[in-house]
């Protein structure tokens, strides 16, 4: 901060939300900053039933009481242990080649103005390892890579103006790229 480095207690994570750009007072983050976020998760409006429950919960309980009832699910030590477990997930070289082929496919694609950086490849690798661990495996499979690629990449590429005018999404183009690459078996 202001030229000074501060050590952060580990584990250190940032979770951020983004308001729609169309709202007053919101601004685009520069691509270099966006690239430092692992995922961009889409959150749609809740269903009518979900919204009803949200409003009812807000109505019948006091916010301060709700905050007091929030308790940690994991300690910092447990998070570090899980991170170490994920680091040890086995990855075959052909799967790393698959990851890098997907990311490289964004760099010369006619529908993409700005392709993904190597951080995207690292993000896909790490997210694939995490999803494999959550699914009870000590190795990743191509389906893990395909599953995590859209949320890891959607904020890291910029579509061409023509593609945006067609109404395409980054997820559409990412899917198109994945379909052009042979899935290793």
Q: Residue 86 maps to which CATH number?
A: 1.10.8.80
Tokens, residue 56: 């009812």
End-to-end alpha carbon distance in the chain:
47
135 belongs to a structural domain: yes
156 belongs to a structural domain: yes
Per-residue pLDDT tens over the stretch 130-169: 999 999 999 999 999 999 999 999 999 999 999 999 999 9
Measured distance CA(134)–CA(149) in Å, rounded: 16
Q: Taking 80 as the threshold, does the pLDDT of residue 109 lie above it?
A: yes
Overall size of the chain counted in residues? 185
Structural domain for 133, as ranges = 74-179
How high is the pLDDT of residue 62?
Answer: 63
For the entire predicted model, the pTM comes to 0.87
Count the domains in the chain. 1
27 belongs to a structural domain: no
The pLDDT-based confidence of 22 (bands split at 50, 70, 90) is: low
36 belongs to a structural domain: no
Nearest Cα neighbor of 156 from 76, 8, 16, 39 is: 39
């Amino acid at each position: 901060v202001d030229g000074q480095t501060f050590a952060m207690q580990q584990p250190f994570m940032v979770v951020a939300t983004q308001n729609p750009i169309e709202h007053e007072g919101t601004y685009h983050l520069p691509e270099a900053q966006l690239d430092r976020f692992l995922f961009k998760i889409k959150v749609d409006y809740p269903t009518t039933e979900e919204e009803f429950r949200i409003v009812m919960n807000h109505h019948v309980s006091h916010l301060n009481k709700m905050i007091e009832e929030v308790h940690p699910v994991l300690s910092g030590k447990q998070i570090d242990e899980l991170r170490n477990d994920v680091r040890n997930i086995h990855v075959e070289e052909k799967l790393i080649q698959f990851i890098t082929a997907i990311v490289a496919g964004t760099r010369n694609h006619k529908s993409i103005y700005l392709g993904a950086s190597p951080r995207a490849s690292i993000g896909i690798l790490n997210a694939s390892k995490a999803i494999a661990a959550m699914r009870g495996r000590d190795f990743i499979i191509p389906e893990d890579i395909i599953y995590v690629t859209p949320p890891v990449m959607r904020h890291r590429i910029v579509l061409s103006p023509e593609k945006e005018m067609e109404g395409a999404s980054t997820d559409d183009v990412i899917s198109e790229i994945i379909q052009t690459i042979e899935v290793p078996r």
